[in-house]
Amino acid sequence: MNPTMGWDIIIPPHRELDEMRESEFCGKTVAVVGMARTGMAAAEVLTDLGAEVVLYDQKPASELDRQLEEAKGMGVRARPGTSDVDLDGVDMLVPSPGVSAASPVFGKAARLGVEVLSEIEIAYRISQSPIIAVTGTNGKTTTTVLIGRIMEADGRKSYIAGNVAAGDIKLPLVLAAYRASPDAVIVAEISTFQLEWISSFRPKVAILLNIGTDHMDRHSPEEYASLKARIFEYQTSEDFAVINLDNEAAVSKSYQVSSQKLCFSRLTEVEQGGFIEDGLVKVRIGGREVEVCSLDDICASGNLPGTHSEENVLAASCAAVAVGARPESIARAVRGFAGIEHRMERVAVIDGVSYVNNSMCTNPDAFARSVASVEGRPIIIAGGKHKGGDLSLVAKAVKDYAKYLILIGTSAPEIEKAVQSTGFLKMTRAGSMEEAVSTGAAVAEPGDTVILAPGCASFDMFSGFEERGQVFKDIVRRRASAGWGRRADESR
């Protein structure tokens, strides 16, 4: 490993004075649509900055007890149980990421001249700290958390925020931006929906990991790809754009980027960015090159499996070096990476069979990457609410890698038909997660892996991917505690 090369990069604060961030919102009337985590955070921050906020949500008051109590404590008016947003006298509209751009409220806002701001746009405008923003179809959470861990290993105050939901990490970007001091770094996972309503959002480092198929129930493939690329839209030559050179769709959407391009590739050497050579991850910026870690370091934690993890490490390394992190800090964070709940999380080993929770896998691309990274031929539990992605990716991955397929959820018939077309017939349907796990256990032999890799959203059976993953883990752990196997941490 090369010694630190003294990058000496000093990131200026994005905002220097509290007065600058207060002036834009103080005295304004703001309608916030959606009383979930993001909407409540936006209401809290805007109220503290002197805005008059009104909260709206279609859910009835009976389902919003906690939020209504919080709103009362903030002195914010709340109007539950309505989709009719009153924009008379309103200066700004802040929609939840879940509100479709086709919603009539946006047409009303346009007619009345009401500015529409996403929560991340507000966050950028008030932030005194530089923002490293991560988007892509897959790998966002892992890469975001890994960069945050690198910053911590480098002795930097960091906030992991945005659309990330990883265990206890659930910090909306607007709250992170409000709390962070100028010497801190914010690392944010950014979703496609959050990028719909930006008008100046300019991260110091913007990362586009890949573009696959996801959210086709809301966007066409072209719309989806174009929205992902908006992460670069307001950057300047003082900023960095980190782009996956191995992903054709990402490359095709980055030709007009105005910032400094740092490409990364597992497959080829790059002039500026990250690449792998002789088993080492290297980063080049401005004619200088450092070795940041080895492929052995990536394998060392046991929580970064598969070639897609190498891509995530390359992207994280480019971002970290761009903001001045030392190579040894990157290596230390990679080696010690603890993994993320619901993402390739090994739950237990029972009678020689490994059980892996990958509930965060919610699209066909993620499904293919997940099952390809499992050693041997896994027994796969898949299905849920299909979001319109290409099921031929699921079918091919099943044929290429699976020992057996167990289907759950509303998409089971559709996936079954796609898989059958490949000639793969070793599958069945299950009416519940309990039945799916029991079936997997019955099919599996010592040395096999049973993996929950849905490839679909969870909202047909669960409140979200977290509940789905937790139910899977609870079932598996009950089996383990009954004496039928050993917990994962006891078997290592």
Domain boundary assignment for the chain:
18-117, 121-335, 345-481
The residues, ordered by sequence, that sit 6+ positions from 173 with a Cβ below 8 Å of its Cβ are 119, 120, 123, 131, 161, 162, 186, 188, 190
From CA 382, how far away is CA 396, in angstroms rounded? 14
The predicted model scores a pTM of 0.84
Same fold, 121-335 and 345-481: no
pLDDT at 176: 96
| C-alpha pair distances (Å), 346 with each of 62, 123, 350, 354, 450 | 37, 35, 11, 7, 10
pLDDT at 10: 44
Query: Is 87 within 8 Å of 114 (Cβ atoms)?
Result: yes
Query: Is 161 within 8 Å of 186 (Cβ atoms)?
Result: yes
Nearest Cα residue to 195 out of 262, 315, 101: 101
Per-residue pLDDT of the chain (492 residues; tens, 9 = 90+): 333 333 444 455 555 445 555 678 999 999 999 999 999 999 999 999 999 999 999 999 999 999 999 999 999 999 999 989 999 999 999 998 878 778 899 999 999 999 999 999 999 999 999 999 999 988 999 999 999 999 999 999 999 999 887 667 889 999 999 999 999 999 999 999 899 999 999 999 999 999 986 545 555 778 889 999 999 999 999 999 999 999 999 999 888 899 999 999 999 999 999 999 999 999 999 889 999 999 999 988 778 887 889 999 999 999 999 999 999 999 999 999 988 888 889 899 999 999 999 999 988 988 998 999 898 999 999 999 998 778 999 999 999 999 999 999 999 999 999 999 999 999 999 999 999 999 999 999 999 999 999 999 998 999 999 999 999 999 999 999 876 544 444 433
292: which 2 tokens?
Answer: 């940041």
pLDDT at 106: 92
CATH for 18-117, options being 3.40.50.20, 3.30.470.20, 3.40.50.720, 1.10.8.60? 3.40.50.720
The fold of 121-335 is UDP-N-acetylmuramoyl-L-alanine:D-glutamate ligase (3.40.1190)
Return the amino acid letter for 96: S
| C-alpha pair distances (Å), 44 with each of 30, 53, 92, 244, 422 | 12, 9, 15, 36, 52
| C-alpha pair distances (Å), 268 with each of 93, 210, 271, 278, 454 | 45, 16, 10, 12, 32
Burial call 439-478: b when 16+ CB within 10 Å, e when fewer: bbbebbeeebbbbbbbbbbbeebbeebbebbbbbbebbbe
From CA 291, how far away is CA 463, in angstroms rounded? 43
Query: Is 185 within 8 Å of 129 (Cβ atoms)?
Result: yes
Query: Is 14 within 8 Å of 129 (Cβ atoms)?
Result: yes
Burial of 401 (0-12, 13-18, 19+ CB in 10 A): middle
Nearest Cα residue to 191 out of 362, 384, 8, 58: 362
From CA 149, how far away is CA 154, in angstroms rounded? 9
3-state secondary structure of 133: strand
pLDDT at 54: 97
Computed on alpha carbons and rounded to an integer, the radius of gyration of the chain in Å comes to 23
pLDDT at 218: 57
CB atoms within 10 A of CB 66: 10
CATH for 345-481, options being 2.60.410.10, 3.40.605.10, 3.40.1280.10, 3.90.190.20? 3.90.190.20
DSSP string of 323-376, one letter each residue: TT--HHHHHHHHHT---BTTBSEEEEEETTEEEEE-TT--SHHHHHHHHHTSSS
Residue 39 exposure: Cα atoms within 13 Å on the Cβ side? 28
pLDDT at 109: 95
282: which 2 tokens?
Answer: 């290297």
The residues, ordered by sequence, that sit 6+ positions from 357 with a Cβ below 8 Å of its Cβ are 341, 342, 345, 346, 347, 451, 452, 469, 472, 473, 476
CA torsion 148→153→158→163, rounded to 10°?
10
